[in-house]
Amino acid sequence: MPLTLRLYGAAADLLGPVIWRGMRRKLEAQGTDPARWPERLGHATQPRPEGRLIWFHAASMGEAASVLPLIAHWGTVQPDTEFLITSGTATSAAMLARRLPKRCRHQFAPLDTRPALGRFLRHWRPDAGIFVESELWPQMLRQTARAGVPLALVNARLSDRSARGWARAGRTARHLMGHFRLIHCQDARTEANLRALGLDLARQGPNLKALSGALPVDQGARAALEGLIGARPVWLAASTHPGEDEIMLDAHSRLLAHLPEALLILAPRHPERGAALEGLIAARGLHGARRSIGAQPSAQTQVYLADTLGEMGLWYALCPLTCICGSFTPVGGHTPYEPAHAGAAILHGPHYANFAEVYPALDACGAGREVADGADLAAALSHLLQDARTRDAMREAARGFAAGDAGALAALTDDLITALGLAR
């Protein structure tokens, strides 16, 4: 094992108690049930089911949501198989509590320390482990492989910048990634970058986020909000990050000069920012209403602050025009597949490194459009909210873009079952 990994392991074990204290404070601040905090130390809060158990590990909400269709399909192919999914965030836990497929349970991921991982592996005894995207913890990989658990990596993503960093530690990268029996890449760029590191197992497949389908929608809430909004032109700023809310509000202020009845639904990536955003909306001289405290949009509402968890499908369904954020600051962008499945015309900023192949294809097929800044966004909004023909053409293109490959889940499931030695 490379010296860098030995040093990392020693440091992680030594600093484990310090890391745990910080993580416990974060879990408490996020409102996580204290009974579940010990999961981070590898203490299980559910029994292990009998029979074969497949473990999926994802970083947060987007990655966890992307593998749910794969788990559901696998469950139909092997109906006697059980599933475990781990993730690290309160938002992912809340989402999974509502959307877990049959025979699947969730736990918070253990810290990357040998004591926590040992407890986790001794209890769950997974028959295979499948890691999602780029959530690769060195000790988690090593300890799981040492326990004899076959491993795979799905929907792998490695940007050119990250690849240059990995290349400087090529031996370490090959050691870590060498634990996998299958490496499924979400795009050609990742496959090329991994193969350049000497990982010949890497091969491109479909992007799992393209296969996730439309997000669930509470139809009662949708009907109620449609009644309140009526015929007003409405648009969504989805998954905003700090620094982007100002851009969205400035664009909406410009839009109101031409369309005074327009309504912005502002959905922050992290709903706990709601109180601060409520103040920001008021400071901009805009009339706001905040969903998390029970407010409903009225005729006077100019910005509806959607600071709740689990309702993004509702906002996509309500809005024919969506601006995907995380793309106006160097966050790397968020998936366009969810609004595309909902049939939304899509606007986005210029920073989408995490989806470097997806957004150009989205724009090329007529489903999306890149805007440079708030002024450019306001102009695009004004045009599309008043030009139903162009907007509807973009929406239809978005649905086609999201349609995906119907056989992709079956092919990936077969590949995993074969590579991990799980055929019956």
For 19-51, the DSSP string reads HHHHHHHHHHHTT--GGGGGGGGT--SSPPPSS
Q: Per CATH, which fold does 219-402 belong to?
A: Rossmann fold (3.40.50)
Task: Determine the Cα–Cα distance for residues 279 and 294; give it in Å rounded to an integer.
Answer: 17
For residues 310-314, average pLDDT = 93
Instruction: Name the residue with higher pLDDT: 162 or 329.
Output: 329
Write the pLDDT tens digit of every residue in 271-290.
Answer: 999 999 999 999 999 999 99
Beta strands in 164-246 (DSSP E): 180-185, 202-204, 234-240
Write the pLDDT tens digit of every residue in 1-36.
Answer: 788 888 898 999 999 999 999 999 989 988 899 999
Q: Is the pLDDT of residue 405 over 80?
A: no
Out of 88-102, 149-163, 183-197, 272-286, the most confident range is 272-286
Residue identified by tokens 């760029």 is 189
Residue 103's DSSP bridge partners are none
Residue type, 368: G
pLDDT band at 213 (very low <50, low <70, confident <90, very high): confident
Q: Is the pLDDT of residue 62 over 80?
A: yes
Q: Is the pLDDT of residue 51 over 90?
A: yes
For residues 149-161, average pLDDT = 91
Number of H helices, E strands in the chain: 17, 14
Write the pLDDT tens digit of every residue in 81-91.
Answer: 999 999 998 88
Residue type, 356: A
Q: Of how many residues is the chain composed?
A: 424
pLDDT band at 403 (very low <50, low <70, confident <90, very high): confident
Report the predicted TM-score, pTM, of the whole model to 2 decimal places: 0.82
Would you kindly state where each structural domain of the chain is located, as residue ranges?
A: 3-206+406-419, 219-402
pLDDT band at 406 (very low <50, low <70, confident <90, very high): low
SS (H, E, C) 255-281: HHHHCCCCEEEEEECCHHHHHHHHHHH
Query: Using CB atoms within 10 A of its CB, is residue 6 exposed (0-12), middle (13-18) or buried (19+)?
Result: exposed
Task: Determine the Cα–Cα distance for residues 320 and 229; give it in Å rounded to an integer.
Answer: 13
In sequence order, which residues have a C-beta less than 8 Å from that of residue 349 and are 6 or more positions away?
325, 327, 328, 329, 370, 371, 372
CATH class held by domain 3-206+406-419: alpha beta
